[in-house]
C-alpha cells in the first residue's frame, strides 16, 4: 500500500506499507516538515492500522527497525505500544568489517570528487573483489 495524507490537495505524508497474512510492515515513511505540527504521521499510522485491521484482519504491526540513538523515533513508536525486540545480524565474514576499514573510508572520501563515469568503472572493477 502507498497511503498519502493530503492537506489542501498537497501530499504532506506518505508511507510504503507491506502486508503479509495478518502482519503489517511500515517500511518507509516520509513527511513534509512544513506540516509536522499537524502530526500527519500519527494520522497516517492510525488510519492504516484501523483499515487493515477491519478489512484484512491484521493483528500485528511492525513499525520497523530503529537505530538505538534515534530517541525521537523510539518515543514515537513506544507511544504506539510497540515492543522492542533485539535483532541479530549475521555476517558471512565476521573478520572483514568493510565499512569500518581504512580502505573503505579512503574510497568514500575520494569518490565524492570523482565523475560518474569513473565511478562506474571503479564499481565494475571493485565489486568483483568484495563479498558484500
> What is the average per-residue pLDDT within 85-111?
72
121/56 same-domain check: no
For residues 79 and 67, is the Cβ–Cβ distance under 8 A? no
Q: Which domain holds residue 117?
A: 90-132
User: Would the pLDDT of 95 be above 60?
Assistant: no
Asked if residue 131 has pLDDT above 80, the reply is: no
**How many domains are there within the chain?**
2
> What pLDDT digit, counting tens, does each position of 3-41 carry?
999 999 999 999 999 999 889 999 999 999 999 999 999
Query: Any residues with CB less than 8 A from the CB of 7 and at least 6 apart, and which?
Result: 35, 38, 40
- 23 and 62 both lie in a single domain: yes
Q: Is the pLDDT of residue 100 over 90?
A: no
The answer to whether residue 47 is domain-embedded is yes
- Return the H-helix or E-strand segment holding 12: strand 10-20
What's the confidence (pLDDT) of residue 10?
A: 96
Whether residue 74 has pLDDT greater than 80: yes
Tell me what percent of the residues of the chain surpass a pLDDT of 70: 87
67 and 8 within one domain: yes
Task: Take residue 81 and report the three cell numbers written for it.
Answer: 505500544
- 19 neighbors 56 (Cβ within 8 angstroms): yes
**CA dist., res. 11 & res. 34, Å (int):** 11
Greater pLDDT, 100 or 109: 109
- Residue with the bigger pLDDT between 67 and 35: it is 35
- Whether 117 maps to a domain, the answer reads yes
Amino acid at each position: 500500500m502507498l497511503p498519502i495524507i493530503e492537506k489542501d490537495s498537497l501530499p504532506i505524508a506518505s508511507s510504503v506499507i507491506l502486508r503479509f497474512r495478518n502482519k503489517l510492515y511500515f517500511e518507509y515513511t516520509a513527511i513534509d516538515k512544513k506540516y509536522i505540527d499537524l502530526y500527519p504521521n500519527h494520522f497516517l499510522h492510525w488510519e492504516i492500522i484501523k483499515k487493515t485491521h477491519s478489512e484484512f484482519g491484521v493483528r500485528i504491526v511492525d513499525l520497523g527497525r530503529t537505530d538505538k540513538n534515534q530517541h525521537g523515533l523510539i518515543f514515537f513508536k513506544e507511544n504506539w505500544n510497540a515492543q522492542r525486540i533485539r535483532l541479530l545480524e549475521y555476517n558471512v565474514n565476521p573478520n572483514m568489517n568493510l565499512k569500518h576499514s581504512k580502505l573503505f573510508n579512503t574510497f568514500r572520501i575520494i569518490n565524492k570528487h570523482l565523475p560518474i563515469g569513473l565511478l562506474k568503472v571503479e564499481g565494475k572493477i571493485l565489486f568483483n573483489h568484495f563479498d558484500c
